[in-house]
Amino acid sequence: MIKQIGNKVYRRFDKELLCIESWGKNSFRVRATQRHEFVSDDISALIPQEECEIKVHEKEGCIEIENGKLRCEITPTGKLRFFHQNGRLLLEEFERIRSDYRKEYNSALEIVPRTFEPIQNADDFKLTVRFEPVDGEKLYGMGQYQQSYLDVKGCTLELAQRNSQASVPFALSSNGYGFLWNNPAIGTVTFGKNVTEWKANSTKQMDYWITAGDTPAEIEEAYANVTGKVPMMPEYGTGFWQCKLRYMTQDEILEVAREYKRRGLPISVIVVDYFHWPNQGDWKFDKDFWPDPKAMVEELKEMGIELMVSIWPTVEETSENYVEMEELGLLTRSEYGKRLGQLNVASVIDVTNPETRSYVWEKIKKHYYDLGIKIFWLDEAEPELTGYEFSHYRYFRGSDMEIGNIYPKEYARMAYEGMEAEGQENIVNLLRCAWAGSQKYGALVWSGDIDSSFRSLRCQLAAGLNMGLAGLPWWTTDIGGFHGGNIHDPNFHEVLIRWFEFGAFCPVMRLHGFREPFIPGLSDSGGGKHRSGSENEVWSYGEEVLEICTKYLQLRERLRPYVTELMQEAHEKGTPIMRPMFYDFPDDKKAWEIEEQYMFGPNLLVAPILYENQRERTLYLPEGTWRNINDNKEYAGNQVITVAAPLDQLPVFAKAGTLEEL
């Protein structure tokens, strides 16, 4: 049975209810369930849109639905096909059944496009949705995975959040469409050669969104319109951020800030990292080591430096807030018996509960915000469970298996809505994870606790580019990596330098890491019982490193007006700040093959050095005339060139006539 109600078309057949509706221009939202009705939208990544008029008609036994450039075809068997308005097939569901429908390929396999496998004694299903592969297709986006592949075609990706992994299930296709898996359940996707297969381990319905566009930019803008756009980045966000694990006292962090100023080195943000609190879940400074945080904030502001403070979602039983939060039901629950100990034997706040978000924000406001701290580091945003035993945990909104991927989005929402209620504009907070729509809550995502190596650096390039295409234009990385990196090791110095050069051309330039050798804690209790890493300031690695870092700090300062322009475009259109070559040159077939260089906005081509002892770089210049900012030599486009890359030079090319200040 087919029925149209406004901009929605329903198909009911036996156990399945299917709904296709317009959701933004040139786009459809597609839902299906074997329950009697669809669930509410409170876990959806999509935001309401003005209804777009659709055209519905029957053609050769199929129902066709048109919305601008996108046409959906429902076959008599219920299979879906999606076409560009010019007739080109974009995507179709995978079906292998015996059919008397003359257009279909008959098969004895009996595989249907959408499989709802019941979960015994539950109202959920294990869902599998299958699509035909597209020959020659390339796929990008999907968030952040610790692999060096920019094109994720051929990959199997876990749809789950982990430290250094952010599952943001939006894929941009070289075939001219964008696809959002609008389902926060734990699962997997396989972009196989023989089939594309999306799986949700526990869910009540299928829910995805698809759009058609003539360019990657058009697709990205459509996606940003339906999931939200970042606020405008505040001015301090475009500068240099200094951080380490971890400044242990108020005096230490102030002395670092003063030294930057004494040396005349640019700095915009400095960071108080974790365990500055007496206990996890206290959400306040340990007075033994941070006696006057208000005075600290004021002194830093006088120096033109913004203070960012780490917030964790963990609550120890020794916290002054634990008993009350347990009584009020504000903590993540265990599916089986007594609450399980989580990271560092602490419980995790349940940010899917609006009461939790309100409770914790009031603590943050009292102990941080009211002191003048206006930017937060929302760490442990996955959250980082002990072994990611997703089946063991339950939230206010449902089981971890069903809705777990929304946790980082709701965590960002907690701080954003609290700050917004105080009248703050241009809100940015640093998070270690994200899901679709996190960007509208001011989420600046960094790539987590990664290794300090060239191999890891190569993975971060792919991560940053794919995060931008997944709708998160604000992205950063621990310059130098997080794990390891001895400050006295010349081999690590090379990694740090090349990473620092790359960091100058990231949306946010942020130095962080847990450097070796480690430094013991200051006491046996409170914020003093945890160790720190070695120094991690630009002068900590010797004169050669300092000289090169200073060069790129100054370069970043000259870049800041340009970065501000890029931030404005991200705010208005959802445009990625760093993006693959094909984004700006979609008609250039070569640009779709390039994975180790990128565009930083429309005018800068960046070719990072990603391998040890590499002192020259081969790269591709697309159409136009390009100027090497290192020697001002100009090159014609549409060619592959090799340029020198000594340790103090990152190959960067500006479009002729632009950014001459570099």
Catalytic residue numbers read 379, 382, 449
Tokens linked to 175? 């075939």
For residue 178, what are its two tokens? 């964008």
Q: Residue 208 belongs to what H/E stretch?
A: strand 206-212
Per DSSP, helices labelled H in 199-264 are: 216-227, 250-262
Q: How far apart are CA 348 and CA 380, in angstroms?
A: 10
Q: Report the largest interatomic distance among the alpha carbons of the chain, rounded to a whole angstrom.
A: 81
**Structure tokens of 177?**
């469409």
Produce one character per residue of 221-244: b if its CB has 16 or more CB atoms within 10 Å, e if not.
bbbbbbbbbbbbbbebbbbbbbbb
163 contact partners, CB below 8 Å, separation of at least 6: 382, 384, 432, 433, 448, 449
Angstrom distance (rounded) from CA 283 to CA 285: 7
Torsion of CA 379, 380, 382, 384, to 10 degrees: 170
For residues 251 and 292, what is the distance between their CA atoms, to the nearest angstrom? Answer: 10
Closest CA to 492 of 536, 551, 446: 536
* H/E element, 275: none
CB 561: neighbour CB atoms within 10 A?
11
Q: Which two tokens stand for residue 163?
A: 């430290």
Rounded Cα distance, 532 and 530, in Å: 7
Q: What are the start-end ranges of the H helices in 228-268?
A: 250-262
Going by C-alpha positions, the residue among 233, 645, 584, 157 that lies closest to residue 430 is: 233
Where do the H-state alpha helices sit in 303-433? 322-328, 354-367, 400-403, 407-421
Secondary structure of residue 597 in the 3-state scheme:
coil
